[in-house]
Amino acid sequence: MHKRTLGQGLEVSAIGLGAMGMSMSYGPNPGDRDDMIGVLRYAIESGTTFIDTAEVYGPYVNEELVGEAIAPLRDEVIVATKFGFDIVDGANRGTDSRPEHIRTVADASLRRLGVDTIDLFYQHRVDPLIPIEDVAGTVAELVREGKVKHFGLSEAAASTIRRAHAVFPVTAVQSEYSLWTRDPEAEVLPACAELGIGFVPFSPLGKGFLTGTVDAGASFGAGEIRARVPRFAPENLAANQALVDEVRALAAQRGATPAQVALAWLLAQQSFIVPIPGTRRRERIDENAGATAVALSADDIDGLNLLVERIGVAGNRYDEAGMRAVGL
């Protein structure tokens, strides 16, 4: 696996692994916890050494899963987790980035992960009630205390990133970014480039859509995140098939899969971009890692860059409440 460098010299595998789906959001949770631990260890041993989790995934159980998986491989992996939600009796009651709460979450995450230091600690969502300067200052204190190594932000606007970075260096910004979600390109990616901050796209395969395995007739259970995402409504899935058909055609020409083309396109956008596709399967770990070897020409990249402009994307990436939560 190739390596890439985020901000502050943090070196990680060029493709990471988002662990959320091993505990929630994508249909029935896996019944065999040991199998998920096996997938995580397989990923690390195969060179995918950047693992993403969060306290809210589950909640809590995903951090515990990751912690158990990495225990014998701690020196080989960079683990990112997140703070910023008020979780009570298993329910997420909204944002909470009060300094005392950040400290409580850090200590709890350290215990669940079974580590001495959190490699990368993201604010999961910007808290409108707490100045970002206070958040950055609190994480800076945790870094000085040895509990955290690096500070990150998720779904933050460029202005927020700049304010936080002025207080304490931001290592990475995580936001949704893919061929069909291009929002970061206007302001966030230029700010990251200017400030030397890494960018970590989540849902880089469009919640599975860009793999080419989700067709217009797909249906999703009530407990699955895609059941609430407008882009996955039947009429929008049908409209969006033209996008994935183009990706599939290019993949066939390049001897790759649609997922590999979608990831290769992301890698080609900036050298500081590190996607974190999620999966529960070993073969997908190998497939995603193979994206680093897919050679897209300048014409390929230009064509993909113009794809959404030419074809369009039907439906928002979140429901109404989710769009409000990220300031959209």
Q: Give the tens place of pLDDT for each residue, 270-317.
A: 999 999 999 999 999 999 999 999 999 999 999 999 998 999 999 999
pLDDT of residue 144: 98
Question: In this structure, is residue 150 part of a structural domain?
Answer: yes
CA torsion, points 59, 177, 236, 327, in degrees to nearest 10?
70
- Backbone phi, psi, residue 247, to 5°: -65, -40
In order of 70, 155, 225, 227, the CA distances from 230 in angstroms are: 36, 19, 10, 8
Question: In this structure, is residue 297 part of a structural domain?
Answer: no
Range of the domain at 40: 3-208+271-292
Mean per-residue pLDDT, 34-48: 97
User: Is pLDDT above 80 for 322?
Assistant: no
Question: In this structure, is residue 216 part of a structural domain?
Answer: no
- What's the CATH number where 84 sits? 3.20.20.100
Question: In this structure, is residue 26 part of a structural domain?
Answer: yes
Q: What b/e readout covers 177-201, taking b as 16+ CB neighbours within 10 angstroms?
A: bbbbbbebeeebbebbeebbbbbbb
In the chain, beta strands by DSSP E: 3-5, 11-13, 17-18, 50-52, 78-83, 85-88, 91-95, 118-123, 148-154, 170-176, 198-202
Which tens digits make up the pLDDT trace of 200-235?
Answer: 999 999 999 999 999 888 888 877 889 889 999 999
pLDDT of residue 36: 96
In percent, how much of the chain has pLDDT > 90?
88
User: Is 42 an active-site residue?
Assistant: no
- Using DSSP's 3-state secondary structure scheme, residue 93 falls into strand
- Using DSSP's 3-state secondary structure scheme, residue 145 falls into coil
Contact 204, 269 (CB under 8 A): no
Which tens digits make up the pLDDT trace of 94-143?
Answer: 999 999 999 999 999 999 999 999 999 999 999 999 999 999 999 999 99
Which tens digits make up the pLDDT trace of 144-199?
Answer: 999 999 999 999 999 999 999 999 999 999 999 999 999 999 999 999 999 999 99
- The model's pTM is 0.96
Question: In this structure, is residue 13 part of a structural domain?
Answer: yes
Rounded to whole angstroms, the Cα distance separating 196 from 198 reads 7
- Tell me how many domains the chain contains: 1
Choose among 223, 231, 225, 173: nearest CA to 202.
Answer: 173
Which tens digits make up the pLDDT trace of 57-90?
Answer: 999 999 999 999 999 999 999 999 999 999 999 9
Question: In this structure, is residue 52 part of a structural domain?
Answer: yes
Rounded to whole angstroms, the Cα distance separating 95 from 242 reads 37
Question: In this structure, is residue 301 part of a structural domain?
Answer: no
Question: In this structure, is residue 234 part of a structural domain?
Answer: no
pLDDT of residue 302: 95
* Confidence category of residue 5, pLDDT binned at 50, 70, 90: very high
Which member of 26, 42, 57, 60 is catalytic?
Answer: 57
Contact 136, 121 (CB under 8 A): no
